Amino acid sequence: MALSRRSFSKALLSNLPLAVGALSLKPAVLAALTSCRPPASLNESNRLVRSIYRTTVPPVGVPSLGLNTWSLRALKHGHAIPAILKVMKETGMRNCQLLFSHAEPEEFDPDFAAMFGAAGKTPAQQQRDEQERKSEARTSWRLSVPMSYFEALRARFEQQGLTIRSYGSPFGSSAEEIDRTFLMAKTLGASVVNGRLAEAQTDLVAAAAHRHGLFAGIQVSDPRLLAQQLRASPQLRADPDLGDLTKSGISALEFIREHLASISSIDLKDAVVGGGSVPFGTGDAHMREVIQFLVQAGSPVELYIDCDYPGTGTSTDEVSNCVRFVRGIMSA
C-alpha cells in the first residue's frame, strides 16, 4: 500500500499526547518595527531591511527544486543518507527536506506495517503498545541528544555542497520536545520545520519557531483550520502537498493560487481524486499548471520532489524521472 506523507503524519501523531495550552504571541515584525533605532551604518541598515523583508514579504524569484527524502522513506538511516546524497548530486538538486527518520536512530523508526495495514484494519493492541514504546523512547532521545549529533549530519551534506533546507518531523508532544525539535532543525541548517499541526499545539509551535528564528510549515489537511492557524503568528506558513490536496477533493491549482503568499514550500506529488498516488503527470493534481503558474509568478517557493506512488519507496531511478518531468515544465 502506498503511504502518503499526510497519512503517515496523522498516524504518527495519534500516538503522541497533545500538549494543551496557549501562549500569547506578539508578531516579531511589530516588535522589530516599534523598537528599532536608527542604524549606525549602511550595512546595519541593509541587514535590518532584509530581516523585516524576509519576515513580511516573500522575495520575487524563481521556484527552487529540492528533494523531500520521504521519497526514500523505506531506506534506514545508515543506508538512506548515502543514497540521498547520491541522488541529489546526480540530479543536480542542491536542497532537501530531511525526513526525521533519516536523522534519528533506526530503533525509533515507526512500524509502517502496523500503522498502515489493510484498509479498515485496526492495529492489534501489541502493535499499538510497541508504537507507544517507540514514541516514548524517541521523546527521551530528543530531549537528551547533544547537538553535535546534528552538526555532524549537517556536515555530511555541506561537504557535498548540499543543504538541508527543511526538516520534516512531528513537532512533539510537549513544549520542551517541540522546542528541541526546532533546535535540532536549526542545527541541521534548516529554516523551517514541516509537519502536521494539531489545533491544540498551534501556539506552542509558533512560540518555539519564534524563539529559534525559524518557520513552521503546516501540512494542509483542513483549509479552514489552516486559515485560523496562519492568523495566529507570522512564523506559521503553509506546506501543501499537491497529491494530498487532490486525494481530498481540493483543487491543488486553486489552493496554490489563493494561498501563495502564505506558502513556504510545496510537495510535488501527483494523485487521482479520491484515490492514490500516481506517476507525475498522470493524475489530477494539475502539476503542469501549478508549476507553470509558479514560474510565471516569479515565486521563490521551494518545490520538493515527493515521489511516493507504488513501487518507489527505495527507487532513486523514479526520483530522477520525477526531476526530469518537473524540469521539463520549468524550462519550457
Which carries the bigger pLDDT value, residue 120 or residue 56?
120
pLDDT above 90 covers what percent of the chain?
65
Closest CA to 103 of 58, 170, 160: 170
Other Cβ atoms within 10 Å of 219 Cβ, number: 21
The radius of gyration computed from the CA coordinates of the chain, to the nearest angstrom, equals 19
Please give the angle made by the CA atoms of 241, 64 and 154, to the nearest 5 degrees. Answer: 90
pLDDT at 12: 52
- Biggest CA pair distance of the chain: 65
Superfamily, domain 5-19+59-330: Divalent-metal-dependent TIM barrel enzymes (3.20.20.150)
Quick one: average pLDDT of 106-123? Answer: 60
pLDDT at 54: 39
Can you give the residue ranges of every domain in the chain?
Answer: 5-19+59-330
Through-space distance between the first and last CA atoms of the chain, rounded to whole angstroms: 34
Model confidence over 208-227: pLDDT tens digits?
999 999 999 999 989 999 99
pLDDT at 136 over 50: yes
CA dihedral 148, 154, 160, 161 (to 10 degrees): -130
Q: If pLDDT is split at 50, 70 and 90, which confidence band does 79 have?
A: confident
Q: Which of 63-77, 80-94, 257-271 has the lowest mean pLDDT?
A: 63-77
> CA–CA separation, 172 vs 174, rounded Å?
6
Mean pLDDT value across the chain: 83
Quick one: average pLDDT of 92-108? Answer: 93
Quick one: average pLDDT of 160-165? Answer: 98
Residue indicated by cell numbers 524550462: 331
pLDDT at 6: 55
Other Cβ atoms within 10 Å of 300 Cβ, number: 13
Model confidence over 301-321: pLDDT tens digits?
999 999 988 877 667 889 999
Quick one: average pLDDT of 287-294? Answer: 97
Which carries the bigger pLDDT value, residue 164 or residue 308?
164
Beta strands, E only, 114-187: 163-168
**Cα of 285 vs its chain's centroid, Å:** 19
